A and B are shown apart, each in its own frame.
Chain A
Amino acid sequence: MTAQTVVTPAAGRQRRWNTAWLLLLPGGLWLTAFFVVPLFQLVATSLYDPSGSEELGYAMTWSWSNYGDAIDFYTGPLVRGFGYAAVATLLCLVIGYPLAYAIAFKAGRWKNLMLILVIAPFFTSFLVRTLAWKLILSDNGFVVGVAKTLGLVADDGRLLATGVAVVAGLTYNFLPFMVLPLYASLEKIDHRLIEAAGDLYASPVQGFRRVTLPLSMPGVIAGTLLTFIPSTGDFINAQLLGDTTTTMIGNVIQSRFEVGDYPAAAALSVTLMVLIVILVSVYIRRAGTEELL
């Protein structure tokens, strides 16, 4: 009698465990095949003997010096990658916050239409949109002409093939990634809280600073991360809109890869990944949203 009552719940627990593992299995296998294995491969490649080549084969020699050499040689593009991405993220925030705010609180019946307009550019390819910017900013085009008349660009100056164009391209391409999370978190805010702030004699500015902004912080964090991380590694914008002095780290990784210098390409990729993880962890801790980690 007693034996039976003990066995039944234990068996039930066992079965629950099995179900949990089974449910994890597809995701786990997927991650192993397409994340863990490539990650190992990447780290391994970054430690190959740099004197090898695809033709002669690569030997695993634990060449940690690949990292030092690559970082040393490509400090410029590395710093530029982070710098451009930071400026673009900031611009996205400055442009995206009012936009998301307007859509969430002021758009009324236009809300859905405005959201669609934010997403609409995704229906055409990233490359085509960036190439379109080449036309917009072209040396003999309207934009540069106006900027010259206004004295914003020197008479013999240009916009295309400059750092300004690269940052503008990044900002443009990643803006929706900022607007959508901001909108999602602004939209959830309970209006009564803002009204309550007003009732308690907070000016609109104070109300925004003390109520709306803190409540929208998850959106700000998510938006800045979704903008900053991909733009740091981006190479399309610098390649199409930049010149020879605006190379970002993504361009270097891509060109190292193309000439078959896999160890350097891998070492730079791992470096980029580690730096981003560190920066993002610090940022999230400071912003107080650890649950995202």
Chain B
Amino acid sequence: MSNRRRPLYTPDRRLALPVTRRRVLGGMSAGALALASGGVLSACGTEGASQTEASCDSDDLSAEEKDVIWSNWPAYIDPIQQDDSTLSQFEQQSGISVEYNDDVNDNSDFYGKVRNQLGACESTGRDMFTLTDWMAAKMIGLGWLQELDKDNLPQVQANLIENLRSPSWDPDRKYSVPWQSGLTGIAYNADLTGEIKSFEEMVTNPEYKGKITLLSEMQDTMIFFLRMVGADPADFTDDEWGEALDRLQEVKDSGQVRQFTGNEYRQDLAQGNIVACEAWSGDVIQLQFDNPAIKFVAPEEGMALWSDNSLVPNKAEHKANAEKLMDFYYDPVVAAELAAWVNYICPVQGAKEAMTKIDPSLADNVLIFPDDALLADTYDFKALSPEEEQQYQDDFARVIGG
């Protein structure tokens, strides 16, 4: 201690400092700065971002301009460079040129990209983008999307599979057309464990303690916990919600859950760090190419059925062109070609028959063409107002992050 210097300022010395002009001026400017800061701070705050059809009107220039600009997720279409790709076919058939961008990596990130423009009723520079149900629902609630013209969507009307026709958040599919769908269920590694039949078993069996992961997406995970307490995820009460949250808390506190993840579970499952997890069907099919021991099961509680949806934002100038593009992919043959590449659930009736000509093994894969029995037991989350969405997200995040 002795070689350390003593603090320079002792309280006594400070008090003894004389009142000088410099100090007074200094004190005054510090005071002024504090006051000004207060003024600046109180002027802060943000505007709401909701729009209505009346407040944000869009013109459609499709008749004059044969273009459409589309933002989609990476690896979510067959390779577009090839001459016989589905997108090239569309361009040749319709004379519309498509600017395809794979710049949607994450629903929330993408929301951040377009939030300022759409909140202020300005163009995002995109005519169409593809987002997951809950984000599509949020944007409908904010009035950021244009209503689609069903006359331009005859094949969608005819071929959309029954289970996806009226989701709770867009009952008449007025704003959205499913691009691809998927199921949320359980994936397990058959080399490490026997079949896991129910979600309840996965989150309670001590054998799997610290060896499972759940998804950090609120809707996905809570659908199962709501089912575990016997509630209907599409229509539940506050009490049931509270009960489901308590179950989640219990499971988390028991150390059963190793992590809440996005699709990082893929590595952990492949490496054997976890034996089972809540998983998305398309991921599992891709994992199975490398490791056939990885299985996907429909738990007894049922599964979550979700879609990524094509949407047309406000101020998009080529709505009719975008609708033609959406409709094109509801031709069963085109849909089958696409499904053969992306391995998610094909939302188009008749595509299964077309697929038998491309690859019969894929036509029999229930995770691409689910049978009625599988689809009968699927659930979606109830439609949420922005306030409810915030509340539920908040409740969930507090349990998993606390």
Binding site for B on A (CB under 8 A): 40-41, 43-45, 47-48, 52-60, 62, 73-74, 76-77, 134-135, 138-140, 158, 160-161, 214, 242-245, 247, 251-252, 255-256, 258-261, 285-288, 290
Contacts and interface: CB of A to CB of B under 8 A. Distances in A.
Given A243-B258, A260-B393, A290-B7, A158 B210 contact: yes
Contact of A138 (B41, B257, B271): B271
Contacts of B267: 134
B386 A58 contact: no
A57 B393 contact: no
User: Which of B6, B260, B401, B402 has the most chain A CB within a 10 Å cutoff?
Assistant: B401
A55 B142 contact: yes
A244 B402 CA distance: 9
15 contacts: A44-B41, A48-B44, A52-B46, A54-B49, A56-B50, A62-B42, A139-B272, A158-B210, A244-B255, A244-B258, A247-B401, A255-B401, A260-B390, A260-B393, A290-B7
A135 B43 CA distance: 50
A53 B255 contact: no
B3 interface: yes
User: Which of A48, A52, A53, A214 has the most chain B CB within a 10 Å cutoff?
Assistant: A53
Given A48-B46, A55-B386, A288-B6, 10 more contacts: A40-B37, A44-B45, A54-B115, A57-B46, A58-B45, A77-B402, A242-B259, A258-B397, A261-B390, A285-B7
B369 to A, nearest CB: 34
Given A73-B398, A135-B271, A139-B273, A60 B390 contact: no
- Please report whether the interface of chain B is mostly helix, strand, loop or mixed according to DSSP: mixed
Given A244-B258, A247-B402, A53 B7 contact: no
Interface of B: 3-8, 37, 40-50, 108, 115, 138, 141-142, 210, 252, 255, 257-260, 267, 271-273, 386-387, 390, 393-394, 397-398, 400-402
Nearest to B40: A40
Contacts of B108: 258
Contacts of A259: 390, 393-394, 397
Nearest to A260: B390
Contact of A256 (B115, B257, B397): B397
A73 B402 contact: yes
Nearest to A60: B45
B47 A47 contact: no
B394 A261 contact: yes
A54 B400 CA distance: 22
Q: Which 8 A-B pairs have the closest CB atoms?
A: A44-B44, A57-B48, A288-B5, A60-B45, A288-B4, A259-B393, A55-B386, A58-B46
Contacts of B393: 259-260
A214 B1 CA distance: 11
B179 to A, nearest CB: 24
A48 B50 CA distance: 19
Nearest to B386: A55
Contacts of A139: 271-273
Contacts of A251: 401
Nearest to A141: B271
Nearest to B106: A258
Given A44-B44, A161-B258, A256-B397, A55 B50 contact: yes
A76 B46 contact: no
A188 to B, nearest CB: 18
A134 B8 CA distance: 48
Contact of A56 (B48, B252, B394): B48
User: Which of A45, A53, A55 has the most chain B CB within a 10 Å cutoff?
Assistant: A55
